[in-house]
Amino acid sequence: MIQSLLLAASFFISSFSAFAQAANANGIANSISEVRPTLPGMIIPNTCVESSDKSKVCTEALFAEKPTVLVVYRGGWCPYCNAQLNRMKSIESALEFLGFQIVAISPDSNKNIAEQQSREELAYNLLADPKLELAKNMGLAYFLDKKTEEKYRDKLGVPFIDIDGDSRVALPVPAVYIIDQQGKVHFQYVNPDISVRLSENLLYTAASETMKVINKVEQKKANK
């Protein structure tokens, strides 16, 4: 029953992209409703992002360390994102006990993620994706509409993307993924309503069920 609910939640939230138009050649969708997120069963392409000290961190090596709860957020300037990251503290120990690492990635600069980690007293990893490479590879990057862009333009620590001489603002749609050590997605939550975030209870349940699946796979490998 629990697995059915998790599958339904994952499918329902991601289904808005099923008939979306393809992203631009640069991998960025024209709007948030047109993103095509990486789905359960898919492998996340190896992509290099950065730590707060500007060290290169590549996802293949990162995910290989242990199963991962990956949070993709818009930036430290986003109140919904900050609230989500702080709520993660309530299940951080429980997720680690299950065997997961928690990683949160945004387009913020290295300096900004370092300041956010200190300010919010976050023990888990924050990483920078300043060029939206991971967001693009996961089908999460989109251009802001002109009205929103004008509102945020001078406040965002994200790059402007030049398209035909027109500089535009791009962001990732907020998302939560549960990924195994091979980079395979087992669960995802992607919602075009940026104010609605995955509850900690559902995330923990999804993580617990996913770890059971991962352990079964590993046991089968060991028995061969």
- pLDDT for the residue 160: 59
**Predicted confidence band of residue 46 (pLDDT cuts 50, 70, 90):** very high
What is the crossing angle of helices 200-223 and 89-98, to 10°? 10
Domain ranges for the chain: 2-223
What's the pLDDT tens digit per position in 26-40?
889 999 999 999 999
Question: Considering the chain, what percentage of its residues have pLDDT values greater than 70?
Answer: 83
Q: How would you label 63-102 residue by residue, b for 16+ Cβ within 10 Å and e otherwise?
A: beeebbbbbbbbbbbbeebbebbeebeebbeebeebebbb
Q: In angstroms, rounded to a whole number, what is the distance separating the alpha carbons of residues 176 and 124?
A: 15
- pLDDT for the residue 5: 45
**Predicted confidence band of residue 11 (pLDDT cuts 50, 70, 90):** very low
Q: Which architecture, in CATH terms, is 2-223?
A: 3-Layer(aba) Sandwich (3.40)
Q: How many other C-beta atoms lie within 10 A of the C-beta of residue 206?
A: 25
Q: What mean pLDDT value characterizes the chain?
A: 86
- pLDDT for the residue 220: 82
- In this predicted structure, which of 9-23, 50-64, 92-106, 170-184 has the lowest mean pLDDT? 9-23
- pLDDT for the residue 20: 42
Give yes or no for residue 157 having a pLDDT over 60. no
Which ranges of 24-182 does DSSP label H, i.e. alpha helix? 59-65, 79-87, 89-98, 110-119, 133-137, 146-152
